[in-house]
Amino acid sequence: MKSFLLPLLFFILLLSGCSKEVSQQGSMAPTATLKIKFEHQFKGQPLELNTNYQNDFGEAFSIGRFKYYISNIVLYRGSNASVLPETYFLIDENDTASKTLRIPIAAGNYDQMHLLLGVDSARNVSGAQTGALDPLNDMFWTWNTGYIMVKLEGSSPLSTQPNNRIQYHIGGFSGAYSALRQMETGFPSSVEVKSGQTLTVTFNADLQRWFNGVHDLPIAGQTVAMTPGPLSARYADNAVSMFSVKDARVQ
Amino acid sequence: MRWRCTISTLVFCVAAASMLINACNKKDVEKGTTSVSFEVPAGFPQPVYDFSKNPLTREGIALGRQLFYDGILSKDGQTPCASCHQQFAAFATFDHDLSHGVDNGFTTRNAQALSNLAWQQSFHHDGGILNLETQPLAPLTAANEMGETVAGVVAKLKGSGKYQQAFRDAFGEGEITSQKMLKALTQFMVTLVSANSKYDQVKRGTTSFTIAEQAGYATFKAKCASCHQEPLFTDGSFRNNGIGINPFLNDGGRIRITRNAADSLKFQVPSLRNVDLSFPYMHDGRFYTLQQVLTHYRTGIQQTPNLDPALQFGISLSNTEASNVLAFLKTLTDSAFVKDPRFAAP
């Protein structure tokens, strides 16, 4: 019996090495699913594009486009990390399907999840990419190469740009002004996910905090952010402060 | 019993593994590509470029060459990579300080000569590009260069029967993607190896320098090679060589990338291979002759912030030394490279 099981296990391991998708989960076959949902809001209400809003500085504006990268998802059981397949997700307010991520995971107990808001530094410099990281998604700076981690565009009467545009392209992956931000969320209690079940984690992202989640960045001060640097890093702080876990449940 | 169990496990695993490896590689066999090995010239360090993620093939290089010379990558159909990177000028723009892009646009910097790119860590005068594969995105999408969008170029390639075939030949079945386009362009670019100048031949012992060249080489090693390091003739660093800011372009160089005041007016040390052919010189193409460059180093250094300490007092060269250095610089011309039919328009 044993002499049959062992090779089988090896075989599965090898198989995972070939597809690369599951290799990082070690020998734990992914029989359950992690579903991450992002709900974008403004002041607690579902976000509407091209709708007039007012931020906490009383400044009028509207949002036309909101996109960001999520990567490096890790589930924890105590201090045991379960690194999920190396996958990059581009979440786009304009594309409903993009706001729900589905990732195969091993069954087990989990009490924490870490995500990266952005694309890790290694991937910024490893050459031509495809899928969510394809430069045709307009999330890549070509002259100072690297991914735009978060993009918020819209308009405001306070802007003197053409069409009253406001444009915040937040990025930079190295040094003091890196815009990469880690999100670490503990679940209210350890959740048990059995084989065949789905763990659904729902995040709220409230764009009210874009302008003052951590740093005060009124529109009157800047209508455009387009390069890695200190300003971009401050927007990144505000951006990550927009996210909070609404709930985590197993079905 | 224990033993037998382990052995049977091993046998099974080896069999399973070989099956799987076959499964993984089968695609390459199906593609029918011919692999090309990258030769590192004698005396050169190991290349920086990671070939493992983009193995060279005859078909990939051929596709890259076709793309490099094809206006289809530009908005007006007339502005291929090769319009600014001309082989006879060592892949710089011949006799232009700035180059012409689409819509009568001008580049804001001098087009670099292209060679030995597989050894380069970062690209452009300010080093803003960190992987050769992503470099083409810059000229493709710049309004003053090729004026396209990535999506636009990919759509045009998908609509071309010729390219559908060429991409299949190089990468097998499957859609044309920007990734494949960039990898093919990179395959062609890394083959642009220049290592057969008179200097290289002297190093290999197949010919010898004239007396003037030999003396110029000695002076070069003493006074220039700290930045223009052999055998690539650059150390890849960013320096302010005292040429002063160009008031029309106002280009701070490296500071654009790092936002660090200590990097103001620093530019990447360029290779000097084929330098006699790649005039004009410096990031803005301000000097048209090597004579002018030497005069700059001898008497023209401007005391600007972050001036490299090695150039604080300029470089003292007697007239004889200067003309010998010039003679030496000309030995860096690789005439086989600029005439190599493998690099010419397909």
Query: Which CATH number belongs to the domain containing residue B71 in this structure?
Result: 1.10.760.10
Whether residue B140 sits in one domain with residue B236: no
**Percent of residues, chain A, with pLDDT higher than 70:** 89
Closest CA to B185 of B36, B337, B73: B73
| pLDDT score recorded for residue B2 | 41
Per the CB < 8 Å rule, is A136 touching B182?
no
What is the distance between the alpha carbons of residues B57 and B38, in angstroms, rounded to a whole number?
10
Per-residue pLDDT averaged across A52-59, rounded? 97
Count of the separate structural domains present in chain B: 2
Name the domain boundary from B135, B164, B194: B194
**Inside any domain, residue B341:** no
Per-residue pLDDT averaged across B146-151, rounded? 97
Per the CB < 8 Å rule, is A10 touching B16?
yes
Whether residue B55 sits in one domain with residue B174: yes
- Give the CA distances from residue B202 to residues B90, B133, B232, B305, B321, in Å, rounded to whole numbers and listed in that order: 21, 33, 15, 39, 20
| pLDDT score recorded for residue A78 | 81
Per-residue pLDDT averaged across B225-244, rounded? 98
User: Is the model's pLDDT at A4 over the cut of 60?
Assistant: no
What is the distance between the alpha carbons of residues B273 and B232, in angstroms, rounded to a whole number?
7
Mutate to test the interface with B, among A1, A3, A138 (most CBs of B within 10 A): A3
Chain B residues with CB under 8 Å of A120 CB are none
**Percent of residues, chain A, with pLDDT higher than 90:** 76
Decide if A79 touches B, using CB distance below 8 A. no
Residue A56's pLDDT band (cuts 50, 70, 90): very high
**Inside any domain, residue B344:** no
- Bigger pLDDT: A19 vs A195: A195
Name the domain boundary from B150, B178, B194: B194
Residue in B closest to A5 by C-alpha: B9
**Inside any domain, residue B130:** yes
Whether residue B327 sits in one domain with residue B310: yes
Per-residue pLDDT averaged across A131-140, rounded? 95
| pLDDT score recorded for residue A3 | 38
**Percent of residues, chain B, with pLDDT higher than 70:** 91
Per the CB < 8 Å rule, is B137 touching A175?
no
* Whether B95 contacts B279, CB under 8 Å: yes
* Whether A68 contacts A151, CB under 8 Å: yes
Q: Where would I find the beta strands (DSSP E) of B135-263? A: 238-239
The 10s digit of each residue's pLDDT in B253-279 is 999 999 899 999 999 999 999 999 999
Comparing A189-198, B19-28, B106-115, B285-294, which segment has the lowest mean pLDDT?
B19-28
- pLDDT averaged over chain A? 88
| pLDDT score recorded for residue A2 | 37
| pLDDT score recorded for residue B28 | 56
Whole-model pTM?
A: 0.88
* Whether A161 contacts B166, CB under 8 Å: no
Whether residue B264 sits in one domain with residue B126: no
Whether residue B176 sits in one domain with residue B252: no
**Inside any domain, residue B160:** yes
- pLDDT averaged over chain B? 92
For B338, the enclosing helix (H) or strand (E) is: helix B335-339
Whether residue B136 sits in one domain with residue B27: yes
Instruction: State the residue range of the domain holding B204.
Output: 198-336
* Bridge partner residues of B97 (DSSP): none
The 10s digit of each residue's pLDDT in A216-233 is 999 999 999 999 999 999
Chain A residues with CB under 8 Å of B142 CB are 142-143
Decide if A15 touches B, using CB distance below 8 A. yes
What is the distance between the alpha carbons of residues B101 and B142, in angstroms, rounded to a whole number?
9
User: Is the model's pLDDT at B215 over the cut of 80?
Assistant: yes
DSSP code, position A85? P
What letter represents residue B238's amino acid?
F
Name the domain boundary from B194, B220, B244: B194
Whether residue B267 sits in one domain with residue B249: yes
**In A125-165, where does DSSP find H-type helix?**
none
User: Is the model's pLDDT at B9 over the cut of 70?
Assistant: no
Pairing mode, strands A198-206 and A32-42: parallel
| pLDDT score recorded for residue B30 | 59
Whether residue B128 sits in one domain with residue B255: no
Residue B194's pLDDT band (cuts 50, 70, 90): very high
ipTM of the predicted assembly exceeds 0.85:
no
For B170, the enclosing helix (H) or strand (E) is: helix B161-171
| pLDDT score recorded for residue A86 | 79
The 10s digit of each residue's pLDDT in A170-184 is 999 998 899 999 999
| pLDDT score recorded for residue B1 | 35
Q: Where would I find the beta strands (DSSP E) of B158-313? A: 238-239, 267-268
| d(CA B134, nearest CA chain A) in Å | 6
Comparing A152-166, B17-31, B114-128, B167-181, which segment has the lowest mean pLDDT?
B17-31
* Whether A231 contacts A186, CB under 8 Å: no
- Give the CA distances from residue B100 to residues B70, B111, B134, B179, B344, in Å, rounded to whole numbers and listed in that order: 16, 10, 22, 27, 20
User: Is the model's pLDDT at B313 over the cut of 90?
Assistant: yes
Chain A residues with CB under 8 Å of B183 CB are 127-128
Considering only CB atoms, A128 lies closest to which of B4, B13, B133, namely: B133
Whether residue B168 sits in one domain with residue B63: yes
Per the CB < 8 Å rule, is B50 touching A129?
no
What is the distance between the alpha carbons of residues A43 and A52, in angstroms, rounded to a whole number?
13
Q: Give the list of residues 6+ apart from residue B317 with CB closer than 8 angstroms, or none.
A: B219, B223, B294, B297, B298, B325
Whether residue B139 sits in one domain with residue B24: yes
* Whether A156 contacts A239, CB under 8 Å: no
Whether residue B204 sits in one domain with residue B185: no
Considering only CB atoms, B5 lies closest to which of A3, A18, A140, namely: A3
Per-residue pLDDT averaged across B317-323, rounded? 98
Residue A79's pLDDT band (cuts 50, 70, 90): confident
Q: What are the residue ranges spanned by the domains of chain A?
A: 40-250
Whether residue B279 sits in one domain with residue B155: no
